[in-house]
Structure 1
Amino acid sequence: MNRRVFLKGGALSLVTLGLSPSFLRRTALAMELPRAVRGKTLIVLFQRGAADALNVLVPFGDKNYYAARPQLAIATPARVGGSANAAGAIDLDGFYGLHPSLASFKPMWDRGMLSPIHAVGSPSATRSHFDAQDYMETGTPDRKGTTDGWLNRYLAVQGTCEASSCTPGSAPGSASAPFRAVAMTAQTPRILEGASPVVAMNSIDEFSIRTNGGEAQRRIEALYRTGSSDVVHGSGSDMFEALKVLRAANPQQYRPAAGVEYPRSQFGQRLLQIAQLIKSGVGLEVAFADVGGWDTHVNQGGAQGQLAGRLGDFSQSIAALVADLGDRMDDVVILTCSEFGRTVRQNGTGGTDHGHAGAMFVIGGSLRAPKKVHGRWPGLAPEQLYEGRDLALTTDFRAVFSELASKHLGAAQLPKIFPGYGGFEKEWLGVL
């Protein structure tokens, strides 16, 4: 009985995995299973749909903000009756504040673990979600021909290092780890597409083989190992090796740190599983997750409403991840980003439209300038707006990405990771 008949007969159900072509082509990982050397991890969280930066990171010190948004603006953090205004921004530095639904971020700011960045994004003028996300994930604005994502290029350029020649933060032999780069998504995201091996999965529980019993699984494994080469042979052998690593780490038995409770949302549970992989020691170097729902053209709301609800789940999920990782945050950096911001003026349907510059958050235990909002503020006066309608860009997203790749992950060949960009150190913000 050949494999195709065996699979078609229903004895084996393999989950759909987002595996890069090179991962599928390799016939065996030929690696030992002990835990990888603890190294640095970068977690990238993408807010798809263009998050409204002006209501996320509120410039309450700019009077033009309130003139442009009479209904949507977040109130100043002025004291009311001796207590903080619950509907007002959470004051950071006297000029910027957090949306009140980002209250979970304030303790991280107080501990020096949160660095917001304003007026940051793509130099491209596009207001297309598809194009803007593509440019940000490939790291090549206005170049549609780029075939790989910037995180995959980092993986390829960094490669494998020997114990005696590893760059700071790199784990020896990390390039061969099947879980070196993981996306908690149904398919491989653009940012991780490319030649280097990547695993994409909806959940750790789904990264498994479901059979009619242990004996059936052993017989199926034997078929993959000994059968003639075909379309499923390469992917099968790699999958079984990856499963061995995952079983050895046993992340399914994971329990969050005492007192930590993740939101039950899909986003919250995906961050929980990133923590599982980090603490299981499977060699995770790059992790990615995304969350939609940020395209607030209609009924966006101010301190309450559609955006507020989305921000609450977003911040509580990240705060749970940070608390769960504990002192491991010294080796972890979390980056949040969105393809662009939104218009300064509210529209006629209680929302905002596609804009230009946005906001990011960098979270970690090794920030260089704690309690500082980074980026030059361009102002919101009519004459200061980009094309007369949007927050102007003052920081290219590649300045942030390249600083994190270099200072946190130890990347040395930045021009290969960000082709066509010449800023690098002279444009870095000094976040790390």
Structure 2
Amino acid sequence: SGPRPVAMLASGRGAGRASSMDRPGLATALDRLYAPDDALGRAWRTGRAARAELMAGLNGADAGADREAEDTARGWSGDAIRLARLMRNEPKLRVAALTLGGWDTHISQGSAEGQLARRLGPLADGLAAFAQALGPLLAETLVVVVSEFGRTVRENGNSGTDHGHGGVLWLLGARVHGGRMHGDWPGLGEAARWQGRDLAVSTDFRTVLWRALGAHFALDDAALARVLPGFKFPAGALDGLTG
């Protein structure tokens, strides 16, 4: 939401390939269709320009080593390498998001082996590949890993866990004061759990984003209130998270 252009790329190795939208004949026809200077016309022109910039960034001249790494990477790691390449080649890109699914571990979740481990492994590999592909730009980058919901502490009857209440956010970057947990830890004892089954929420996820965005982009409270409307940041929360 807002005036900044947003573009989406397909996942997988086809992300940098031309699509039907890039065919000159079709693009020219759509240019004529959306020629009027109305909301649809402006959205088309903005979207087309943003896509052209992203495609140029993905296929930049310095992409050779990245493509070799991408060829050996599997799945999400390849997407992470492509994003790192794009960030290096396209300085206008300020915020990007990647999605990794498959966390609905209702059955046979496992621990060191099993469904959960088979998702955590690719996540870790992708984050490592992203950091390596960023190179020196990593010092200027903040990575936030967040899930839309947690999992229950209590195991269900199918050796899995169900949708839960509390969760965890990871922050990675040169300015993050890492190697420790920030915020309050309620514990996993049954008495400390929410409704006896979930990790209790001690920190609103917007508190973490407020602190991280404020430090990384040098945004004041007024600007952050536009990014996270309706949220009142608790004064002094998560002091020392970033430097």
TM-score (normalised: structure 1): 0.48
State the partner residue of 1:362.
171
Q: State the distance in 2 between where 1:236 and 1:344 align.
A: 46
What's the RMSD between the two structures over aligned residues?
3.0
Task: Give the SS at the match of 2:164.
Answer: coil
Match of 1:286 among 67, 89, 95: 95
Alignment of 1:138-287 (within 5 A): 193-202=1-10, 203-206=15-18, 209-211=21-23, 217=24, 221=28, 224=31, 229=36, 233-242=41-50, 244-246=52-54, 249=57, 251=59, 253=61, 254-256=63-65, 260=69, 263-265=73-75, 267-287=76-96
1:50 corresponds to which residue? Answer: none
Aligned CA distance change for structure 1 residues 297 and 194 (closer, same or farther; 3 Å):
farther
Distance in 2 of aligned mates of 1:244 and 1:330: 27
Match for residue 393 of structure 1 among 191, 201, 205: 201
Letter in 2 for 1:372: R
Q: Cα 1:392–1:276, aligned 2, differ >3 Å: closer, same or farther? A: same
Residue of structure 1 aligned with 2:229, choices 406, 415, 419: 419
Unaligned runs of 5+ in 1: 1-192, 212-216
Within the candidate set 306, 313, 316, 2:125 is matched to 316
Indicate how the Cα distance of structure 1 residues 256 and 360 shifts in structure 2: closer, same or farther if over 3 A, else same.
farther
**CA contact 1:298–1:351 (8 Å) conserved in 2:** yes
Aligned length: 233
Q: 1:208 to 1:248 in 2, by over 3 A?
A: farther
Structure whose residues are more often strand by fraction: 1
Q: Work out the CA distance in 1 between the residues paired with 2:229 and 2:26.
A: 47
Which of 92, 106, 123 lines up with 1:297 in the alignment? 106
* Structure 2 length-normalised TM: 0.82
Does residue 410 of the first structure (1) align with residue 218 of the second (2)? yes
Listed one character per residue, the Cα deviations across residues 243-278 of structure 1 (whole Å, up to 9, x for unaligned) are 55346546255234599556321x223212211211
Greater helix proportion: 2
